[in-house]
Structure 1
Amino acid sequence: MKKRIGLLYGGKSAEHEVSLSTAQAVTKALNFEKYEVYPVYITQEGEWRKGASLEGPAGSIEQLQLEQDSAAPNDISGFLPAEPEKGLDVIIPLLHGPNGEDGTVQGMLEVMNLPYVGNGVLASSAGMDKVVMKQLFEIAGLKQTPYVYFIRREWKNGQAALVKKIAAELTWPVFVKPANLGSSVGINKAENEEELIAAVDEALKFDRKIVVEQGVDAREIEIGVLGNDAPVCSVAGEIKPLKAFYDYQAKYKDGNTAMIIPAELPEEVYEQLTASAKKAFKILDCSGLVRADFFVTADNDILINEVNTLPGFTPFSMFPLLWENTGLAYPDLIEKLIDLAIERYEEKQLLQVKMD
């Protein structure tokens, strides 16, 4: 009997377009002889739209932008397939950014007691907030670049003091980021105080919390992590942007980036990277998948940059390419993630919920 898979994508987020690209790529990877695939689309305005089972891979992103149906906005019945008497075996959330990758949807799925691919509530929310993530990395003893963070109100009431603090504690250039976005949305590089102010104003369009990180002259190395309680790592890959840094355009639009897989690294450096990736995975209590991003300096000093708890599966995405070069093809990777989701769900069902 075919497993019934629910694809949840779109979302009320600046990363809506990325989610659609990921969803299209996943439909191309799923084996329709093994799975019934039901699309659940969330518009950028937050309206839920469910569709009948797909006949095959989505030929275009437009095909996934479902027309209005009887589902009310945010009606959880959007998770149900066309035949309500059939439940879904597993949900694959493909929602990047806030309102999807940050633990909100994961919490709803937990309350609904539905199996779902990827990280749970804690890992998703902590991994989404770059400041909380960095603080947990500090607890785990993971080395990282210096940073300063603040919220909108602090910037509004004390901009001059914060600029002075950043100039004193960090060295130029710095990178200004919304704390709760991924895919390089709202990120800018600043070489001086004037550029810093402009970059913060831009980042505040996307989040109330901002993190400013010191730039580092280093290679950008990424590793895929897969598993639940016993995670394993892929080969390492290196990002070499042909622009100033690996921004949204380079990631998802023009492919203006060189990806070197596997990265040329001494064996001992690779072993340190995988150990750090697993440590980051465990301190956030991750499950399913993570892409761990590092800086490696000329003298092989390792700094963790961040982890992405829902890395993209677009044609330009590093995560599936890392696993393909490790020996796990894209369709097999999707199947592995589904198996891990069911494994985690079945383990949770063993928990006692009634007092004797």
Structure 2
Amino acid sequence: MSSQHKPRVAVVFGGRSSEHAISCVTAAGVLAALDRDVYDVVPIGITTGGRWVLVEDPSRFSLEDGKLPEVPAAGTPVSLSSDVDSKALQRFEDGDVTEFGAVDVVLPLLHGPFGEDGTLQGLLELSDTRYVGSGVLASAAGMDKQVMKLLLAGQGLPVGPWTSFRARRWNTDRAAVVAEVEALGYPVFVKPARAGSSIGITRVTSPEGLEAAVAEAISHDPKVVVEAALVGREIECGVLEDLDGGEPLTSLPGEIEIVGGHDFYDFEAKYLDSGNVRLTCPADLPDDVVAAVRSTAARVFEAMGAEGLARVDLFVDPTRGADGIVVNEINTMPGFTPFSMYPRMWAATGVDYPELVHRLLQLALKRPTGLR
């Protein structure tokens, strides 16, 4: 790549999942931070129906007045070429297909299924196109809470008590499932196994609430995970792959506190009611606990085979002994608005938002293709 060449970045966002709007908000922040003197940027939105379109005005996707943005169906249809040698974007207009330049790297800012779960990563692998973030396996495993917990526990990392089942078993062997849930002790959190942004999650405090909670989770995913409620402080830590190939870098931890109006950090608390949520970064933790959080986050990143970036969510409970850390989950494409916890943690660690985006693109551009 010559020094005169500006890498062409396709920023892909939106998508078919229930996290479509959050992906749009993330893209608005990233697109505003990208240096056009360094990168040739092509914003591509995916509609809720799966249509890929060129986006002319990315600024419209900011979260304003509590309104959730959406990629409009109107726009020039576009796709990535399946030709491994060209890596070109293809534009469809008036029945004609034209190519308008190769893509050097894709920045996939999709959250949830059909984007963060290895599906888009597989498409990019087929065309030998470099992209930011984890590969197919780590993306898929990180999206599936059951598989993630099995992998982490298999590597000796601490995870809380949980059980999992599919809709079929709930319908045919409900008494056994209920017994497994009750063995966890109430309250429990009932979750779709493969969703994010706290969508479809219910906090259940008694047996009477279980059926409705399972129905809500199944409406998003036929696989359900039920977790015992964990006591402790909700702590997050950012992980960033090292540009020089060294050990993963970790941010100072941040803390989420619900100060009113919500039983837990649900979708509304995350995106629509920030007044009842306190995000503290860096978290006020003893130095030894900070070190343990950062070390655990790096171990989670390595255990999952993650690449590029991730946010690791943990609980810290001093009554559990030692450092009191329990891993909740890994997010291989965390929320990335300027106000999201991941970039805020890195800003507190000395890496500002534009520099963070730049580093992620540089990591992807250095990555060999065809060797996963």
Q: What's the TM-score, normalizing by structure 1?
A: 0.91
Q: Report deviation, 1:68.
A: 3.6
Query: Residues of 2 paired with 1:173 and 1:301: CA distance?
Result: 20
In the alignment, what sits opposite 2:218? 204
Task: Give the conservation status (yes or no) of the 8 Å contact 1:142–1:304.
Answer: yes
Residue identity opposite 1:238 in structure 2: E
How many residues of Structure 1 are paired with residues of Structure 2 in the alignment? 342
Select which of 4, 7, 14 maps to 2:11.
Answer: 7
In the alignment, what sits opposite 1:112? 127
Does 1:45 find its partner at 2:49? yes
In the alignment, what sits opposite 2:281? 261
Identical-residue share of aligned pairs (%): 44
Residue identity opposite 2:360 in structure 1: L
Query: Residues of 1 paired with 2:308 and 2:77: CA distance?
Result: 33
Query: Residues of 2 paired with 1:125 and 1:154: CA distance?
Result: 23
Runs of 4+ in structure 1 off by over 6 angstroms are none
Task: Give the conservation status (yes or no) of the 8 Å contact 2:48–2:71.
Answer: no
In the alignment, what sits opposite 1:236? 253
Residue identity opposite 2:227 in structure 1: E
Give the secondary-structure state (helix, strand or coil) at the position aligned to 1:34. Answer: coil
Could you tell me which runs of 5 or more consecutive residues in structure 2 were left unpaired when the two chains were aligned: 63-68, 83-87, 92-97
Q: Assess, with a 3 A threshold, how the Cα gap between structure 1 residues 328 and 164 changes in structure 2: closer, same or farther.
A: same
Q: Report deviation, 1:81.
A: 7.0
Query: Residues of 2 paired with 1:335 and 1:98: CA distance?
Result: 26
Task: Give the conservation status (yes or no) of the 8 Å contact 1:58–1:64.
Answer: no
Give the secondary-structure state (helix, strand or coil) at the position aligned to 1:58. Answer: helix
Give the secondary-structure state (helix, strand or coil) at the position aligned to 2:270. Answer: helix
Q: Report deviation, 1:51.
A: 4.3
Select which of 328, 339, 343 maps to 1:320.
Answer: 343
Q: Report deviation, 1:33.
A: 2.1
Query: Residues of 2 paired with 1:89 and 1:12: CA distance?
Result: 25
Q: How does 1:246-257 map to 2 (within 5 A)?
A: 246-255=265-274, 256-257=276-277
In the alignment, what sits opposite 1:309? 332
Q: Report deviation, 1:85.
A: 4.8
Query: Residues of 2 paired with 1:26 and 1:252: CA distance?
Result: 17
Does 1:89 find its partner at 2:90? no
Task: Give the conservation status (yes or no) of the 8 Å contact 1:81–1:88.
Answer: no
Q: Assess, with a 3 A threshold, how the Cα gap between structure 1 residues 143 and 46 changes in structure 2: closer, same or farther.
A: same
Give the secondary-structure state (helix, strand or coil) at the position aligned to 1:235. Answer: coil
Residue identity opposite 1:338 in structure 2: L
Give the secondary-structure state (helix, strand or coil) at the position aligned to 1:293. Answer: strand
Q: Report deviation, 1:64.
A: 5.5
Q: How does 1:1-356 map to 2 (within 5 A)?
A: 1-51=5-55, 58-61=59-62, 65=72, 67-71=74-78, 75-77=79-81, 80=89, 84-167=99-182, 169-227=183-241, 229=245, 230-242=247-259, 243-255=262-274, 256-299=276-319, 300-344=323-367, 346=368, 348=369, 351=371
Q: Assess, with a 3 A threshold, how the Cα gap between structure 1 residues 69 and 77 changes in structure 2: closer, same or farther.
A: farther
Q: Report deviation, 1:279.
A: 1.1
Task: Give the conservation status (yes or no) of the 8 Å contact 2:17–2:112.
Answer: yes
Task: Give the conservation status (yes or no) of the 8 Å contact 1:251–1:316.
Answer: no
Query: Residues of 2 paired with 1:20 and 1:64: CA distance?
Result: 7
In the alignment, what sits opposite 2:94? none
Q: Report deviation, 1:3.
A: 2.0
Query: Residues of 1 paired with 2:186 and 2:347: CA distance?
Result: 37
Q: Report deviation, 1:59.
A: 4.4
Provide, for residues 51-104 of structure 1, a one-character-per-residue CA deviation record: whole Å limited to 9, x for no partner: 46x7xx624456963624354xxx434971778352111100011000000000
Query: Residues of 2 paired with 1:59 and 1:178: CA distance?
Result: 30
Provide, for residues 260-308 of structure 1, a one-character-per-residue CA deviation record: whole Å limited to 9, x for no partner: 1111111111121112111111111110000001000133411000000
Query: Residues of 2 paired with 1:38 and 1:84: CA distance?
Result: 14
Task: Give the conservation status (yes or no) of the 8 Å contact 1:252–1:316.
Answer: no
Query: Residues of 2 paired with 1:171 and 1:222: CA distance?
Result: 25
Query: Residues of 2 paired with 1:190 and 1:324: CA distance?
Result: 36
Query: Residues of 1 paired with 2:14 and 2:100: CA distance?
Result: 26
Q: What's the TM-score, normalizing by structure 2?
A: 0.87
Task: Give the conservation status (yes or no) of the 8 Å contact 1:103–1:125.
Answer: yes
Query: Residues of 2 paired with 1:276 and 1:117: CA distance?
Result: 23
Give the secondary-structure state (helix, strand or coil) at the position aligned to 2:239. Answer: strand
Task: Give the conservation status (yes or no) of the 8 Å contact 2:255–2:279.
Answer: yes
Query: Residues of 2 paired with 1:89 and 1:156: CA distance?
Result: 48
RMSD: 2.1
Q: Assess, with a 3 A threshold, how the Cα gap between structure 1 residues 207 and 254 changes in structure 2: closer, same or farther.
A: same
Could you tell me which runs of 5 or more consecutive residues in structure 1 were left unpaired when the two chains were aligned: none
Residue identity opposite 2:307 in structure 1: S
